Amino acid sequence: MKTERQPNERQWESNINDAEENGGTRWIATANHSFAPYAQEEFRRLFGQIKSVQLIPGETFLIELPASAEEVGARLKAEPPIFVRHIQPVDRFWKLEDGVEELKALRSFIAANEQRLSGKRAAVQIRRTEGTATSLAVAEAKAELEEALRAVSSEPVLRDADWVLSVFAATGMLYAGISRPEDNISDWSGGAIRFKREEGQISRAKFKLLEAERVFGLDLASCREGLDIGAAPGGWTSLLLERGLRVTAVDPAELHPSLIRHRNLTYLRKNASKVRFRPDQFDLLVCDMSWSPMQMVKLVSELLYSLRQGGIAIVTVKLMHKKPMQTIREVIVRFGEQRLQLQQAKQLFHNRDEITLYMIKY
């Protein structure tokens, strides 16, 4: 990472002054573990010259962008990044002390923002890096800050907030900022979206499709006939069945016994290269094969005749080697040639070494 440095308080302060003088802004950005370099690359492509300091290795970094908060928000919305999972503004920062001073500073930060916060719903999101030397305890601090919000006639909430107060404690410093949840890329703290594990849940993979549904704003229940390629053990299939779809699940491996007798399920225990369907049979195609990306593209492409025009495709792309950006570009081009138009590419919180594509057939 060319511009990445370990934080140094004095250096950082002078950087911040520079950023302010140049009309720049600073942020804390988070990516999935070990994908921070690609998130930084995305910022570089969008904003040109950037300065960044690592806060959690491979994951979270402080960044100065040569643009106003409004410009940053607009550009990230116009070209949503794949690897930047979450950003939060740094409006103020302090040196970490004994826990008491920090809370005092945060309370006065809230008071100084009374005009914005008063009469509005506000969520407090606090994160700290492991081993950060402060006695600031997250749960207590959250309760205190919620009290401070009430004191400025703001209603503390967990979800559906008008404003998010983001606090991050790391490497001797405390950072705070206030933003609209939609400007943080994810409205979950650090973009770490959590779903409750259900009793009898077939696989953790189900969380990926649940997250895709939410992040891409999909209404899976409006689909009727779904094809699940690489379906076993059946997490995705089970979600589609719950959403009321008729599902054709294809996998040489075994589906979970709890699914087999579902009246809306057709299970083809075969390799996807060996199955045939009616043209336009499906209005949803999902594929989570965890396989070589180009092999996956070939297999999915061969079955695309069965996805009707306007149908949705949700596909995970395994990032197997060292050039994920290039792999992603190639996959998107190849699918584009098959009339699958990309709507969004995103590394979801529940994606490990992969990303998820949301496409529509035209």
Looking at the annotation, which residues are catalytic? 318
- Number of Cβ within 10 Å of residue 138's Cβ equals 13
With binding defined as CB under 6 A, does residue 272 bind ligand SAM? yes
Q: Give the DSSP per-residue string, 250-313.
A: E-SSPPPHHHHT-TTEEEE-S-GGG----TT-EEEEEE---S-HHHHHHHHHHTGGGEEEEEEE
101: Cα separation from own chain's centroid: 33
- Structure tokens that stand for 50 in this block: 């950037």
Question: What is the pattern of x (binds ligand SAM, CB under 6 A) and - over residues 195-214?
Answer: -------xx-xx--------
Judged by CB under 6 A, the stretch of 113-121, 224-232, 331-339, 340-348 that binds ligand SAM is 224-232
Cα dihedral 294, 295, 300, 303 sign:
positive
With binding defined as CB under 6 A, does residue 266 bind ligand SAM? no
With binding defined as CB under 6 A, does residue 271 bind ligand SAM? yes
Q: Which is nearer to ligand SAM, 173 or 289 (CB)?
A: 289
d(CA 208, CA 354): 11
Phi and psi at 257, nearest 5°, equal -55, -30
With binding defined as CB under 6 A, does residue 355 bind ligand SAM? no
Q: Which is nearer to ligand SAM, 228 or 283 (CB)?
A: 228
With binding defined as CB under 6 A, does residue 26 bind ligand SAM? no
Q: Pick from 24, 81, 191, 235: which binds ligand SAM (CB under 6 A)?
A: 235
Least gap, CB of 286 to ligand SAM (angstroms):
8
Least gap, CB of 360 to ligand SAM (angstroms):
21
Judged by CB under 6 A, the stretch of 13-21, 227-235, 301-309, 354-362 that binds ligand SAM is 227-235
Least gap, CB of 62 to ligand SAM (angstroms):
35
Q: Which residues contact 302 (CB under 8 A, 6 or more apart)?
A: 273
Side chain identity, residue 104: K
Judged by CB under 6 A, the stretch of 30-38, 49-57, 112-120, 251-259 that binds ligand SAM is 251-259
Q: Pick from 94, 195, 216, 291: which binds ligand SAM (CB under 6 A)?
A: 291
CA distances from 161 to 29, 115, 121, 143, 181 (A): 20, 16, 5, 17, 7
With binding defined as CB under 6 A, does residue 301 bind ligand SAM? no
Q: Respond yes or no on whether the N-terminal peptide bond of residue 156 is cis (omega within 30° of 0).
A: no
Beta carbons of 103 and 144 less than 8 angstroms apart = yes
Least gap, CB of 199 to ligand SAM (angstroms):
17
Q: Which residues bind ligand SAM (CB under 6 A)?
A: 202-203, 205-206, 229-236, 250-253, 271-273, 288-291, 299
